[in-house]
Structure formats: C-alpha cells, structure tokens
A and B are shown apart, each in its own frame.
Chain A
C-alpha cells in the first residue's frame, strides 16, 4: 500500500515537473509503475494513478501534435521521391529489410578478407569420413562445422555470400536494363508514335509474350545447357527470364501515364516527344519497376541457387556459392543436415530482406497513399 502511495506521489510530481526533458523520462518510468500500482493497491491510489496517466497522456498528445506541425512545416518543397523515402523510413518492415540487406552486402564485400580459414583448404579432411557417415558439426574452432571434405563451413559461407550477391545483382540488372529498354521503347512508341508506333509495340509485345509464356526455370536451364556450365551462364539465364517481366511492367506503367493530363499538357506546351518521354512519362512510371527490381533480386538469388542446385552453376570448387553448397549438401543430408541448413538459411534470410524492403517500397511509392 505504501508503495502505491509513493508511486502516486511520484506521478504527481512528474505532472508538476517543470522541465520538459524530465517529463519524457518520468513518463517512461511512470508508465510501467502506474500499471503495477493500480494492480497492487487498487482503490484511491489506483484512481489517482489513472488521473495522472490521463494528464500525461494529454501532454504527450500535445507534444506529438507540436512534433507533427513541425514536421509538416518542414515538408514544403519535398518531391514525391523524398516523401516516399520518408514513409519508407518510418516503416519497420523496410528498416528490418534494409538492415538485413546491409549486413548481407557487408558480409559479401568484406567476407573473403576476414575468413578465419581458407574456404577451399581441406584442412580437417582426416576428421571427416563422408563415406562412413562421420561428420564434424559446430565447434569452437569451426563455428558452422566442417563439410564433407573437411573445409570450414563458416569461411565458405562468408565467401559464398559474395557470389550469391553477384549473381543476384547482375542477373537482376540484366533483366532490368534490357527489360526497361524494351519497355520504354514500346511504351513510348504506343503513347506518342501514332499508328506506326502501335504496330511496333504490337510486334515487340508478342515476342515478349512468347518469352513470358515459357516456364522461367526451363528457359534458364535451356540457356545454361546451350552456353555451358559457368557463373556467367547462371547470371544470363536468370536475367533473361526477368526481361519480359520488366518490359511488360514498364510498358504498362508508361501506357497508364501516357494518357494522363500532364502528358497532354506537355504536348500542348510544344515539348518535344523525346523529352516528354524522358521528363514526363518515364519518371512517373518507374515506381513499380523499382519495387519489382528489389523483389526480383530475391527471386534471382533463389533461382540462381536453384540452377546451381541442379548442377548448372559454377563448376569451380575454389569458388563456393550458396546454391552449389546446398546442392552438395543434399547427398549427406541424412548424416549432416546442418551442412544444408546453413546455406539454405542464408538464402532465405537474404531473399526475405529484399522482399521486405520491396514490399515496403511498394507501399511507400503507392500514389494512393500520397497525403
């Protein structure tokens, strides 16, 4: 009971407190105390506690309002990109995604220089007898254990991250750049090219449709089969699969924007067609493409892993890659499941990071949410 009274007093003091800095602190501590106090003591002390909470709640609300006014006051002259970025920053999913991606990139960049052991040296080969089902799991000197050839799994994971990032980024860029180029040409032709433009667009889009109708993995396998087994093949194969996606997306987006009033206004102003495409239509059509690029990084990494898993990846054993590691681990899955789990979890977390960021960007860039 005494504790309850003390707390109430503390609450009152904090209400009467003059410094606004203090208020924030006392608020924080009072929040938890107030809850306990009302539970334990009840009666008069509880009521007083509630009143105090209401008062501080109101003060917090006023502070919040002041904060909001300051913020809206500062948003004058902000472009839509800036505002989208501000929304993105306040989205927890986006922050988590960004942190995951940042970690992954850091690991990919510096990983090969900080590996505790060589990723290729079969240092502990003698301890691992794969043919007898004897494997070494996580231990003091090898954090992730050893693989079937006695190599340090942790070092291999670090080095493999770079390959995975490289495959993801390069293949996404192949798809993005070529797709965006085709999409822009087609979109520009159909919005500003008149009758001839529509013809061009029809032909281009039918070709893209054909590309799109092929199962993506099958297409990637065929490309890999034709070009032989290498990392470049994987990147091209995964990238080509993405081309129609980007092309269609950008074209559709440009078509939607092409009919907008501001494009008509630009025409009425006498702005040249090329400039209308570059300064008016394209900047307004990019949002879905940016989102798609982020999301497709995730799929690219997974597809690259899948191709490596199918044995189409980089055959060089000196360059570990998560997909290849996963593929190799499957033979020993019964005895050493962790050998598969590490690269798999790595791929999943990375893909998840890109997906989270992509989804958050989709929300941030959605014009319907524009305040």
Chain B
C-alpha cells in the first residue's frame, strides 16, 4: 500500500460566461486522468513544460482546487470524498512548499506568528511558550537564526524565505510534503542549499515528497521516481535513473534532448529533437494521444483516435504510447521531421535510408503549399535528396498539390546545408509554415 495514491485524478476548470447567472461554456482540462503512486519515504518527481497541469495536480492532492473526479488516497483515506472540516484536519499530514517564497508568506505577520498559525489551527502545543520552543527547534533545523522569530518576511533573503516556507510545513510534522517548484525562484547557488536541506530533512524525518519542477537536473537529483506530464496526463513514469538513461516516450525523448550536455564536442553532435508548434490548449485538447499533434513518430493508426494508457514496459517503466516497442526496436521511423539535427558527415550518410523510408508513405505525406518565405523562419530545406517529397507534414491536411508545385520557390536546401557546414537540415521549419497554410 503506497502512502499516496492518485487514481484517475481529473481537475477540469469550467469556463464561465454570463453576467448574473453563470453559464459553463467549456472546460479547461488541467489534469485529465492521472494515476500514480508515491511510496512512503520516497521522492516522486513530476516534470513537464509550463501549462501541463503539474501545479494543478499538486494543489488537487491537497484539495486546494476542486477535484472533478478520481481518487486521492492518502494512507487509506480518499481525500476527495472528505468534507471540509475532515479535510482541514487531514492537512496537518500533507503539507506544501510553494514556488514563490515571498509571495507565500503573509507580509504582515512575523515569522513566529506565521509558524504558530498552523500549529494553533491543529492544536499543536498547549500555549504560546510551548509553540515558541518548538518553532525555535524547527528554525534551527532548517538553518535559520533564532532571532528570526520576530522579524518579517521582507527582511530575509530569498533562500531564507524558502527555509521559512519549509519550516512552516515542518512544524505540523507532516508525512507528505508537496514541493511546488521549490527552488525555481532561487539563485542557482541557493538552489543547491535548499535541495540539500530537503534531502537532509527527508532522511532525518522520514518525509515523503512529491516534487513538482520543470528543471530536469533538480528533479533527477532529488527524485526516486519521475513522472513526465504532458497536457494534463502522465506520458511516462520510471525510476529516476532508468528514465534519464533511456527515455521511451517520444515526448520524454524530446524533453531530455533539450538538456544541454557540458561537453561541447558531444553537444554539437548529439541529436536534438525539436518539437514543432505550441502546446495545444488544455481547453481543447487533441483527441486520441494528446501528443500526436507534435509527435515525431506519429502513425496513421491509433494515435489520432485512441488514447494510450500508461502501461508497464518492464522494470516499473510505464509509458503511455501505442508504439513504444516499435520506436525502441527502431522498426518505426519518424514520420515528421524534428527540426535541427546536427549530425556528422558519416551519420548523415547513415541516415539517408531513414529519409528514404519516410518518403514513400503516401498518406502521411501531403505535398504542402510551398511554404511562403516567411522572414525569420528558415526556409524548409525539405530534404537532402531533392527527389524525395517533403516528409513531416500533418496527414490531416488535404494535399493541395505536389511538393515543388510550379511557381514555387525552390527549396533552400543547399543554402541551409552550406550554413550548417557539417550538417543537414531536415523538414524543420516547414512544419509550422505548413500548419499556417
């Protein structure tokens, strides 16, 4: 039995209109069916780009936002079903550390008052004196001076404020602490201190963390298990090392490939998967797999129609993709170009067959309107081999004509290649241009 279990958690925010009477005109699907387990004493890291619903998920666990459906089972109790007062009492055991350390502290209360507020609400400590002793103990524990007691939040530095935020959670002796971007508002040098403090506290107090962050390095450092969110749902979940060593979901692959490598040589040569287009609106998410509009490996079956479930692919590595096996085995090829691929000369040669493979798939390849020479957007440089049609255009768009229609400006391939020097640009910016057309 895990300490914290989410089962099909959904948080939909209604979009209201109307002056006197609310009329619901739609929903924002902020969290749309997330199931995960957090084991006691572990750290579960939740990553994803901004707007993917990770913060909402954290808040929903504490019921700081309403839960549309699903269960949040904490230590055997479904929090979603509790009434307000019962939930209030449960909050002692589930605490939260916020992203903005200054904003999350009441500017008009001094530190003692801030820390004592929660204790009073839960009847911890008989009187003021007893509470003060306890607060002093916790302050020492998080590395704050004892004279912090009667100072105010604006009189501390950023790192100290976050320590106060952590202390505020700790005075209630919680079991689980949800850290919502605990360090992203801090200087890099301070980030390490706070992260280490969190780890230290976990060790000495046996805390369980749910860490929400977008900084992949931070999450990797602190987490035992990592879940990757995209547009309101989990796309992949795996033990930390396994996920970083071999991401399996296309989105995770793209996410990981965005992390720069310190070695400049390697950095130049490694493959980077650039996703095209924007994150779709969570008010109108794509049908089927949420990621299929941007996935480099999108297929013409299943992806646009069926929503993939998180399935175990071995060793607790759960992936929500119909084609995991094929992508892993290399039998599936990319159907959509993925932006700049910096590859060596030899690698470019080695990749030729792949492009050739991608080419003939007829229903995926719709000859687009020759992309208008939009300033600022690199010309599509569609292919290294001009005989091949342009890969990587949404199958949904009806083909208005073959690639290289008469009157179209010739693809700027050679220029791009010359610019790249050692590399080759595939598809690339042709994608957004085609989407616009």
Whether the Cβ atoms of B96 and A265 lie closer than 8 Å is: yes
Contact (Cβ within 8 A) B108 A272? no
Asked if B98 is an interface residue, CB under 8 A from chain A, the answer is: yes
Q: Quick one: CB contact mask for B161-202 with A, threshold 8 Å, 1 for yes?
A: 000010010001000000000000000000000000000000
Chain A residue at minimum C-beta to C-beta distance from B100? A261
**In the complex, are the beta carbons of B152 and A79 less than 8 A apart?**
yes
For B59, list chain A residues within 8 Å (CB).
264
Is B118 on the interface with A (CB-CB < 8 A)? yes
Bound complex: CA A271 to CA B109 (Å): 15
A312 to chain B, nearest CB (A): 36
Query: Is B20 positioned at the interface, with any CB of A under 8 Å from its CB?
Result: yes
Which of B89, B98, B122, B155 makes the CB contact (< 8 A) with A261? B98
* A 218-276 contacts with B by CB, 8 A: 260-262, 264-272, 275
Q: Which of A96-121 contact B (CB under 8 A)?
A: none
A:281-339 near B, CB below 8 Å? 283-284
Asked whether A265 lies within 8 Å of B98 as measured between CB atoms, the reply is yes
Whether A81 contacts B88 in the complex (CB less than 8 A), given A202-B20, A264-B98, A269-B168, comes out as: no
**Measured CA separation A214–B82 after assembly (Å):** 47
| Complex contacts, A271 vs chain B, CB 8 Å | 117-118, 121
Residues of A within 8 A of B108 (CB): 79-81, 283-284
Cβ of B103 and Cβ of A269 under 8 Å apart? no
A370 sits at the interface (CB 8 A): yes
Are the CB atoms of B122 and A270 closer together than 8 Å? yes
A270 near B89 (CB under 8 angstroms)?
yes
- List the 5 shortest-distance A-B pairs measured between CB atoms, nearest first: A270-B91, A269-B118, A261-B103, A261-B104, A262-B106
Beta-carbon nearest neighbor of A264 in chain B: B64
Question: What sequence of 0s and 1s flags, for each residue 192-208 of chain A, a beta carbon within 8 Å of any chain B beta carbon?
Answer: 00000010001000100
Contact indicator A260/B103 (Cβ below 8 Å): yes
Given A198-B22, A264-B59, 20 further pairs, Cβ under 8 A: A76-B147, A76-B151, A77-B150, A78-B155, A79-B110, A79-B152, A261-B100, A261-B104, A262-B104, A264-B104, A265-B165, A269-B117, A269-B121, A269-B168, A269-B172, A270-B89, A270-B91, A271-B118, A279-B109, A279-B117
B106's contact among A198, A270, A284, by CB below 8 Å, is which? A284
- List 24 A-B pairs, Cβ < 8 Å: A76-B151, A78-B155, A80-B152, A81-B108, A198-B22, A262-B107, A265-B104, A265-B165, A265-B168, A268-B62, A268-B91, A269-B95, A269-B117, A269-B168, A270-B89, A270-B90, A270-B118, A270-B121, A272-B121, A279-B106, A280-B106, A283-B108, A367-B107, A370-B154
- A contact residues around B122 at 8 Å (CB): 270
Q: Which of B62-92 contact A (CB under 8 A)?
A: 62, 64, 88-92
Judge if B393 is at the interface, Cβ distance under 8 Å.
no
Most chain A C-beta atoms within 10 Å of own C-beta, residue among B99, B106, B152: B106
Expressed in whole angstroms, the Cα–Cα distance for A208 and B165 within the complex equals: 39
Query: How far is B96's CA from A264's CA once the two chains are assembled, in angstroms?
Result: 10
With contacts A270-B88, A270-B91 taken as known, whether A77 is within 8 angstroms of B110 at the C-beta atoms is yes
Q: B105 an interface residue at 8 Å Cβ cutoff? A: yes
Q: Which residues of A contact B20 (CB under 8 A)?
A: 202, 206
Interface size for chain B: under 10, 10 to 19, 20 to 34, or 35 or more residues? 35 or more
Q: B101 — nearest CB in chain A belongs to which residue?
A: A261
- Which chain A residue shows the least CB distance to B85? A272
Q: Interface of A with B (CB < 8 Å)?
A: 75-81, 198, 202, 206, 260-262, 264-272, 275, 279-280, 283-284, 367, 370
* Chain A residue contacts of B22, Cβ below 8 A: 198
Q: Which residue in chain A gives the minimum CB-CB distance to B62?
A: A268
What is the interface of chain A mostly: helix, strand, loop, or mixed?
helix
Set of chain B residues within 8 Å of A78, measured between Cβ atoms: 152, 155
In the assembly, what is the distance between CA of A268 and CA of B58, in Å?
11
Q: Name A370's closest neighbour in chain B (CB-CB).
A: B154
Q: Which residues of B contact A77 (CB under 8 A)?
A: 110, 150-152, 155
Given the interface contacts A268-B91, A269-B121, does A262 sit within 8 Å of B103 by beta carbon?
A: yes
Q: Report chain A residues within 8 Å CB of B172.
A: 269-270
Which of the listed residues A265, A283, A370 has the most CB atoms from chain B within 10 Å of its own CB? A265
Residues of B in contact with A (beta carbons under 8 Å apart): 20, 22, 59, 62, 64, 88-92, 95-96, 98-100, 103-110, 117-118, 121-122, 147, 150-152, 154-155, 165, 168, 172
Residues in B with CB closer than 8 Å to A262 are 103-107
| Chain B residue contacts of A81, Cβ below 8 A | 108
**Distance of A246 Cα from B62 Cα, bound (Å):** 35
Q: Which residues of A contact B89 (CB under 8 A)?
A: 270
Query: What is the minimal beta-carbon distance from A246 to any residue of chain B, in angstroms?
Result: 20
Interfacial chain A residues near B165, Cβ < 8 Å: 265
Q: Which residues of A contact B90 (CB under 8 A)?
A: 270
Tell me the minimal C-beta distance from A290 to chain B in angstroms. 13
Residues of B within 8 A of A80 (CB): 107-108, 152, 154
Distance in angstroms between the alpha carbons of A75 and B96 in the assembled complex: 30
The smallest C-beta distance from A276 to any residue of chain B, in angstroms, reads 9
Q: Are B64 and A267 in contact (CB under 8 A)?
A: yes
A74 → chain B, closest Cβ, in Å? 12
CA–CA, A198 and B19, complex, Å: 12
Residues of B contacting A370 in the complex (Cβ-Cβ under 8 angstroms): 154
CA distance A80 to B89 in the complex (A): 32
Interface centre among A262, A267, A279 (most CB of B within 10 A): A262
Chain B residues with CB under 8 Å of A261's CB are 98-100, 103-104
Residues of chain A with a CB closer than 8 A to B109's CB: 279
Residues of chain A within 8 A (CB-CB) of B99 are: 261
Report Cα–Cα, A267/B117, bound state, in Å: 11
* CA–CA, A271 and B168, complex, Å: 13
CB distance from B172 to the nearest CB of A (A): 7
Specify the chain B residue showing the minimal Cβ separation from A286: B108
A269 touches B91 (CB 8 A): yes
Are A268 and B121 also in contact (CB < 8 A) when A77-B155, A262-B105, A370-B154 are?
no
Complexed CA–CA distance, A271 and B96 (Å): 14
Q: Can you name the residue of chain A whose Cβ is closest to the Cβ of B84?
A: A273
Q: Which residues of B contact A198 (CB under 8 A)?
A: 22
Q: How far is the CB of A159 from chain B (nearest CB, A)?
A: 42
Shortest A369–chain B CB gap in Å is 12
In Å, the complex CA distance between A348 and B154 comes to 40
> A3–B345 Cα gap in the complex (Å)?
89
Chain A nearest CB, measured from B141 CB (Å): 18
Chain A, residue nearest B115 (CB): A269
Q: How far is the CA of A265 from the CA of B114 in the complex (A)?
A: 10
Give complex CA distance A266, B172 in Å. 13
Residues of B within 8 A of A202 (CB): 20
The answer on a CB contact under 8 Å between A76 and B155 is yes
Instruction: Provide the bound-state CA to CA distance between A25 and B212, in Å.
Output: 62
Q: A266, B107: Cβ atoms under 8 Å? A: no
